[in-house]
Amino acid sequence: MSGRGLLMWDEAVTKYDFGSGHPMDPVRLALTMGLVRAYGLDRAMDVAAAKPAGDSTLRLVHREDYVAAVRAASEDPAGADQSYGLGTVDDPAFAGMHEASALIAGQSVGAAEAVWRGEAGHAVNFAGGLHHAMPGGASGFCIYNDASLAIARLLELGAERVAYVDVDVHHGDGVQAAFWDDPRVLTISLHEHPRTLFPQTGWPEETGGTGAAEGSAVNVALPAGTGDEGWLRAFHAVVPELLADFRPQVLVSQHGADTHFEDPLAHLAVSLDAQRAVQEACHELAHAHADGKWVALGGGGYEVVDVVPRSWTHLVGIAAHQPVDPESVIPSEWRDQVYARTRQLGPARMTDGRWPVSLRPWEDGYDPADRLDQAILATRRAVFPLRGLLA
């Protein structure tokens, strides 16, 4: 296996653009790559661009009629078929939509292939993580589900156990749906409670299909307002034990940055420093349980200047085995880029001032009256016995 990490990047992914005023502004991708370069991380990894996902790859997850509908909407946005979730407020149709979406999907599939074949130990596609797209429809700013496609390609290549860990603020519903009946894939999603946030799914009781697939879906529904300590407590109370039991051959993780307290679309209160801590934890878990095979994706994140570029640059640094010091001063050349592109002042450091973050381990005991501990208990009681583990 190559000792170097792999960063998937093609400038054309910034053409995934729903238009002015849409929360998913592609400037977040350009600014992230700019910050990666400012820290020299592009020289610490192999940087490559994969070809767009072709129809045969897209059909590993998506229905043929849906792919045809995306193509049609891409050529004629005004005629988009809303029955497929296209041309809606969340997912406006735009010219070139199929090509941009297939390109992002191709980067995640290429990352998975490289990791599986031993060409890279870790691979990152921060343009990916579009986890809401369903087999037959667009949803939640997502056209093609690159995370599901990467996992499906791993299975096609012979993987028997793939773990997917999703720490976006929104439930990873599309990936869960794609593998609901497949015991080869363990999906774990930590997200804001569906009572208070789209897509209103991801309840602890959602535990996978019947038979061998029972217990293959795991959902930790966190109370609105959960901050660093609670978020880290929930992650470590659920994820490591499940991965140790499942013994994945590859870990695929989704690192939506919209858990952050500045994010305008959700209600958690997580800092950049806690996000970095979970990125490090995923890296360590990949080495502990998946022979180091790690595919890391981006996801949501709508504070596109202050949060997303810093969070995903930390992710790239960790995957490159060249982590960025949280206390480091951000290079002035990048802050100049930020101002030139957005007329905003960029952040000065790679921390929110909460590093190192604290963790209250689950093993030290829990409070049955605490809302966060109730959420963790609900997940453990719903899933752990199905997997032969003590709740």
Token reading at 62: 């998506």
Q: Report how far residue 277's alpha carbon sits from residue 366's, in angstroms, rounded to the nearest whole number.
A: 22
Q: Report how far residue 300's alpha carbon sits from residue 23's, in angstroms, rounded to the nearest whole number.
A: 10
Per-position DSSP letters for 111-148, written without gaps between them: HHHHHHTTS-SEEEETT---TT-BTTB-BTTBSS-HHH
Token reading at 171: 């439930």
Catalytic residue among 98, 131, 132, 314: 132
Q: Report how far residue 173's alpha carbon sits from residue 202's, in angstroms, rounded to the nearest whole number.
A: 7
Per-position DSSP letters for 37-103, written without gaps between them: HHTTGGGTEEEE-PPPP-HHHHTTTS-HHHHHHHHHHHH-GGG--GGGT-SSSSS---TTHHHHHHH
Q: How many residues does the chain have?
A: 391
The reply to whether 236 belongs to the active site is: no
Place of tokens 């990666």: 36
Q: Report how far residue 74's alpha carbon sits from residue 97's, in angstroms, rounded to the nearest whole number.
A: 5
Active-site residue set: 132
